[in-house]
Amino acid sequence: MNKIFLNLGLQPLANEYRKRPINLSMKRGQLYNLKVCFNTKTKLVSISKRIPSEKMFNSKYPYRSSMSKTMQSSFKKLSNKIKKKFNPDLLMEIGSNDGALIKNFIKSKVIGVEPCKNLAKITKNKGYITYDKYWDFKLASKIKKKFKSVDMIYSANTLTHINDLKNVFTSINHLLSNNGVLIIEDPSLLECIKKNSYDQFYNEHIYLFSAIAVKNLLNRFKLEIFDLENLPTHGGSLRYFIKRKSNNKFKISNRVNIQINIEKIHGLNKLITYKKFSINVLKSKKKLLQILNKIKKDKKKIIGYGATAKAVTVLNYCNINRNLISNFTDTTPEKINNYMPGKDIKILKYNKNILQSYHYAFLGAWNFKKEIINKEKKFIKNGLKFITHIPFPKFID
Ligand code: DWN
């Protein structure tokens, strides 16, 4: 039974960057109501309104995994671990994006699956086998016909973006070899609740997984988690190592039960936890607006740092326009010179002196806080202050 616990109001599609600002009152049809619910039976947290995949993941998709050093190094580390521990003959990545992971493997040993044609083109052009298709049973059958089976399937920040999870796992089951391993990695619901990071919710994040919910889900497909890792990436993620229940090659680590117990201690299996979370979200909105309004009153300028999908949720939920945050800056070519979705705030191309003209920087890419603060030390020394809303709106010391 799905129970709505959070309403983040009318929102645009998070990655729909436009050349012109949208006048909200005129373009209501382009907005959707972002509500988040908890399924009391399966314990799965999801958004209630589902946008068709074709509208979100198409040939104009702007997000590139390789845009941050943090992600590049996380994928590199994982690739080394995979080679050392599992040494797969063939690895397939669902949602291979611009190849940040697969580029660490020999071309004959990896397959990319990426429905966003602009991204798939990048890996195709580099000579990697890439299927520019959505992950489904038809594609799994096509790959099976050619390669027979795959002994490792990896997917980061992708499965939470696919509405039909039954199709996802049935297709994985179809292709994965009997002793094969599935690794999935997505933002952790526990970290989201602990960090009050309500901006993890937007149209692309249909689900936010907990280990509790993933365990329940996998059970339906005769799959199980045999190991887990907590990662610092994307604001705190969980990496699940999964096998068939019939596969006795891998022992189940006690890290799995430890994680599930911690999640239960934090109440992730109870609706009341999510109701409390929604109260904190409202408090966060009020505090952030108070900070931004005070800066405006003092006639100081703020720039948003990192035009993230997460920031789109914050801007639209808190109704922040350019009167509060003058501009955003980002390194992604597809975002530059466009406007933050739903708002009149223009995204400027990042250059190393851009922060010079601002007194404050709102950390849109708060998940890269370390990397960014380190990069901008010079400006901080000269008086620039970073603002973050995670876990609660404040200035960063
Ligand atoms: O799941 C998803 C994740 C993985 O990526 C997608 N649905 C969409 C996207 O979400 P996001 O936009 O919130 O992701 P990031 O990785 O937090 O985006 C960081 C943004 O900040 C990028 O546009 C690049 C930019 N950036 C920058 O301009 N300078 C990042 C760093 C580290 C920098 O120094």
Q: Which CATH number goes with the domain that contains 232?
A: 3.40.50.150
SS3 of the chain: the string is: CEEEEEEEEEECCCCCCECCCCCCCCCHHHCEEEEEEEECCCCCEEECCCCCHHHHCCCCCCCCHHHCHHHHHHHHHHHHHHHHHCCCCCEEEECCCCCCCHHHCCHHHEEEECCCHHHHHHHHHCCCEEECCCCCHHHHHHHHHHHCCEEEEEEECCHHHCCCHHHHHHHHHHHEEEEEEEEEEEECHHHHHHHCCHHHCCCCCCEECCHHHHHHHHHCCCEEEEEEEEECHHHCEEEEEEEECCCCCCCCCHHHHHHHHHHHHCCCCCHHHHHHHHHHHHHHHHHHHHHHHHHHHCCCCEEEECCCHHHHHHHHHHCCCCCCCCEEEECCCCCCCCECCCCCCEEEECCCCHHHHCCEEEECCHHHHHHHHHHCHHHHHCCCEEEECCCCCEECC
Q: What integer pLDDT is reported at residue 11 of this predicted model? A: 95
Ligand 1 atom with least separation from CA of 161:
7
Q: Is position 252 within any domain?
A: yes
Q: Is position 281 within any domain?
A: no
Nearest to 40, CA basis, from 205, 209, 269, 276: 269
**Does this model's pTM top 0.85?**
yes
Per-residue pLDDT for the chain (397 aa), expressed as one digit of tens each? Answer: 999 999 999 999 999 998 988 765 546 668 999 999 999 999 999 999 999 999 999 999 999 999 889 999 999 999 999 999 999 999 999 999 999 999 999 999 999 999 999 999 999 999 999 999 999 999 999 999 999 999 999 999 999 999 999 999 999 999 999 999 999 999 999 999 999 999 999 999 999 999 999 999 999 999 999 999 999 999 999 999 999 999 999 999 999 999 999 999 999 999 999 999 999 999 999 999 999 999 999 999 999 999 999 999 999 999 999 999 999 999 999 999 999 999 999 999 999 999 999 999 999 999 999 999 999 999 999 999 999 999 999 999 8
* Residue 32 backbone zone (phi > 0: left; psi -120 to 50: alpha; other: beta): beta
Q: Is position 178 within any domain?
A: yes
Give me the domain span that covers residue 255: 39-271
Q: Is position 360 within any domain?
A: no
Ligand 1 atom with least separation from CA of 68:
32
How remote is the CA of residue 304 from the centroid of ligand 1, in Å?
A: 13
Q: Is position 23 within any domain?
A: no
Task: Tell me how many domains the chain contains.
Answer: 1
Q: Give ligand 1 pocket residues (Cβ under 6 A).
A: 63, 67-68, 157, 204, 234, 306-310, 330-332, 335, 350, 365, 367-368, 371-372, 375
Q: Is position 329 within any domain?
A: no
Instruction: Please give the Cα distance from 81 to 366 (Å, whole number).
Output: 27
Q: What integer pLDDT is reported at residue 26 of this predicted model? A: 47
Q: What integer pLDDT is reported at residue 312 of this predicted model? A: 98
How remote is the CA of residue 332 from the centroid of ligand 1, in Å?
A: 9
Q: Is position 372 within any domain?
A: no
Distances (CA, A) of 221 to 133, 151, 175: 23, 17, 13
Q: What integer pLDDT is reported at residue 27 of this predicted model? A: 61
Ligand 1 atom with least separation from CA of 350:
28
Nearest CA to ligand 1 atom 34: 372
Q: What integer pLDDT is reported at residue 23 of this predicted model? A: 63
How remote is the CA of residue 31 from the centroid of ligand 1, in Å?
A: 22
The answer to whether 191 and 242 are in contact (CB under 8 A) is no
Q: Is position 387 within any domain?
A: no
Instruction: Please give the Cα distance from 209 to 201 (Å, whole number).
Output: 12
Length reported for the chain: 397
